[in-house]
């Protein structure tokens, strides 16, 4: 059976219930099923109302959670800055707080063909030479 949405099924149940009630003299053998159908409809209406109430409550709770999360993030930022200010941004102690200490990347040192480190103008000359080769 293909998937049908609850409101559509409920609408069909209400239609059948009304039709059965209007023609109960012609189909007396369906009095008990009609009573059951009416009981199911009453339960469905109660549960649908409760579901709507819970949905509204859930939305309110979700809003409150979002507000608390925003406040907590601001407070954590304040605490993080205080910890970094106290220990310094390079301290390994920051790892205990779940923070990343500042670790600078190692500098790239250019070395010439003779194995010695290139300095100042030699580095610039080498950089332009490599660009011209390309």
In a domain, 1, yes or no: no
| 55 and 18 assigned to the same domain | yes
pLDDT in tens, 77-128: 999 999 999 999 999 999 999 999 998 888 787 887 887 887 766 556 666 6
Instruction: Check if the beta carbon of residue 119 is closer than 8 Å to that of residue 126.
Output: no
Cβ-based neighbours of 40, under 8 Å, separated by 6 or more? 13
Tell me whether residue 129 is in a domain.
Answer: yes
Q: How many domains does the chain have?
A: 2
Q: How many residues does the chain have?
A: 134
Domain of residue 53 covers 6-103
**Shared domain check, 75 and 51:** yes
**Contact indicator for 112, 129 with CB cutoff of 8 Å:** no
Residues 98 and 109 in one domain: no
Among 17-21, 57-61, 117-121, name the one with the lowest average pLDDT.
Answer: 117-121
* Sequence-separated (6 or more) residues with CB below 8 Å from residue 111: 117, 118
Res. 63: pLDDT tops 90: yes
* Range 18-22, long-range pairs (CB < 8 A, 24+ positions): none
Answer yes or no: is 14 within a domain: yes
- Please tell me whether residues 91 and 51 are part of one structural domain: yes
CA distance 54 to 11: 22
- The answer to whether residue 94 sits within a structural domain is yes
- For residue 30, what is the DSSP state? G
| pTM listed for this prediction | 0.52
């Amino acid at each position: 059976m293909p998937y049908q949405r609850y409101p559509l099924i409920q609408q069909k149940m209400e239609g059948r219930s009304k039709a059965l009630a209007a023609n109960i003299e012609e189909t007396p053998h369906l009095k008990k099923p009609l009573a059951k159908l009416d009981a199911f409809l009453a339960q469905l209406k109660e549960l649908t109302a409760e579901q709507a109430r819970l949905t509204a409550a859930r939305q309110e709770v979700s809003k409150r959670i979002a507000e608390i999360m925003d406040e907590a993030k601001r407070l954590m930022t304040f605490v993080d800055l205080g910890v970094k200010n106290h220990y310094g941004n390079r301290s390994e102690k920051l790892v205990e707080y779940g923070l990343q200490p500042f670790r600078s990347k190692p500098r790239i040192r250019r070395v010439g063909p003779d194995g010695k480190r290139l300095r100042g103008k030699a580095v610039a000359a080498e950089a332009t030479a490599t660009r011209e080769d390309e």
